[in-house]
Amino acid sequence: MAKSYIVTGAAGFIGCNIVKALNEKGIDNIIAVDRLEGDKVKEGNLKSIKFREYMDKSDFRRIFNTGKLDKAAAVFHMGACSSTTETNEEYLVDNNFLYTRQLCEWSLGSGARFIYASSAATYGDGELGYSDDDRMTPLLKPLNLYGRSKQMFDLWALENKVLDRIVGLKFFNVYGPYEDHKGEMRSVINKAYGQILKTGELKLFKSYVPKYRDGEQERDFIYVKDAVKVCLFFEEHRNISGIFNCGTGKARTWLDLGRAVFAAMKREPHITFIEMPLEIRDKYQYHTQADMAKLRSAGYREPFTSIEEGAGEYVRNYLSLK
């Protein structure tokens, strides 16, 4: 019988793209796990992929906790609350930490390869750099509850000495198809396309740190197709485990991103700057850049897509066709 896979967050952004990539390899023996709650966009994402069975997250969680879930070759755990502005700490701890821990323990007990989504939000303001060396993990100070909930599981995995058997991926700023349901958590490329289409201009936040001019705040932007390739690399190379950064290793400015979107839309750039909301000013990251040495030394050789190439493909092959 063909190997089976479990993908949580399968109707979401990275999860949907993982299922799609597995489908392109001829694999559809997949349990797709998510919570739709009437979300038509996520329902549309599900319709774009092939899988053996869909399970609501609550049903799935109950079944694997009672030991009645069939074994799987691998679990891609992408299901989480990804809102950096979420204020319900109890919900975040349950959804992003306890759920992950329970599923990890089930995977280890059943022999499934466990690959989970951590986050670059664990790095906080970047004062300690962006090294995924295990010695740095306990020192990191996330700026928001979301980042803390992700850090909680990274620390649990480290303290319980399971990182030699599982993979955590610290995703940086991921963008690409199937993120429309994320609302305010969509990538700026997705938001920019809509803004430019409607108004002809793009609004970016002003800088409140003298070191960075307006629009020159920096992020490590990674195309979702590249992020998925990294996920599949670890499923295929089961002898390699640990926590790894998943970015490009290159910081680019918001201005670079904006100009790339205008170029993809074949328009002249028109960018203005607006005030940043007070509630996020002291939690704002001005610079992120993944240290990719650990992933490269693990044997990952694929090149990463530039923001110009990625924005161009995203706009031409997805956003402009909606």
pLDDT tens, 128-176?
Answer: 999 999 999 999 999 899 999 999 999 999 999 999 999 999 999 999 9
Please tell me whether residues 187 and 118 are part of one structural domain: no
Query: Per the structure, how many domains does the chain have?
Result: 2
Query: Residue 86's pLDDT is what?
Result: 80
Q: In angstroms, rounded to a whole number, what is the distance separating the alpha carbons of residues 74 and 54?
A: 16
Average pLDDT for 7-23: 98
Q: How far apart are CA 198 and CA 119, in angstroms?
A: 32
267: domain CATH number is 3.90.25.10
% of the chain residues with pLDDT over 90: 86
| 228 and 121 both lie in a single domain | yes
* 193/261 same-domain check: yes
pLDDT exceeding 70 applies to what percent of the chain?
99
46-75 mean pLDDT? 93
pLDDT-derived band of residue 2, with 50, 70 and 90 as boundaries? Answer: low
Q: What is the CATH number of the domain that holds 123?
A: 3.40.50.720
Q: Tell me the residue range of the domain where 260 lies.
A: 180-218+251-286+311-315
Give SS3 for 262: helix
Residue-level pLDDT at 80: 84
Does 321 fall in a domain?
no
Please tell me the predicted confidence (pLDDT) of residue 88: 85
Q: Is 117 within a domain?
A: yes
Which of 50, 54, 57, 182 is labelled catalytic?
182
The one-letter amino acid code at 19 reads: V
pLDDT of residue 226: 98
Among residues 116, 123, 130, 146, which one is catalytic?
Answer: 146
Same domain flag for 184 and 241: no
Looking at the structure, tell me whether residues 125 and 26 fall in a common domain: yes
Answer yes or no: is 133 within a domain: yes
**Please, are residues 269 and 215 in contact by the beta-carbon 8 Å criterion?**
no
Q: pLDDT-derived band of residue 243, with 50, 70 and 90 as boundaries?
A: very high
pTM more than 0.85: yes
The two tokens of residue 11 are 């109707």
**Residue 184 and residue 275 in one domain:** yes
Tell me if 264 is assigned to some domain: yes
pLDDT tens-place string over residues 77-127: 999 877 777 888 898 988 899 999 999 999 999 999 999 999 999 999 899
Report pLDDT for 279. Answer: 87
CA distance 264 to 190: 12
Whether 134 and 188 map to the same domain: the answer is: no
Mean pLDDT on 244-269: 98
In the prediction, which pLDDT does 82 show?
77
Strand partners, 8: 33, 77
In a domain? residue 166: yes
Triad 214, 217, 219: Cα angle to 5°: 150
169 in the same domain as 136: yes
Q: Among 16, 79, 254, 290, which Cα is nearest to 172's?
A: 290
Residues 157 and 185 in one domain: no
146 is catalytic: yes
| Domain identity same for 162 and 187 | no
- The pLDDT value given to residue 84: 77
Catalytic site residue 223? Answer: no
For residue 322, tell me if it sits in a domain. no
1 pLDDT above the threshold of 60: no
Band of residue 290 on the pLDDT scale cut at 50, 70, 90: very high
Same domain, 121 and 268: no
Residues 69 and 111 in one domain: yes
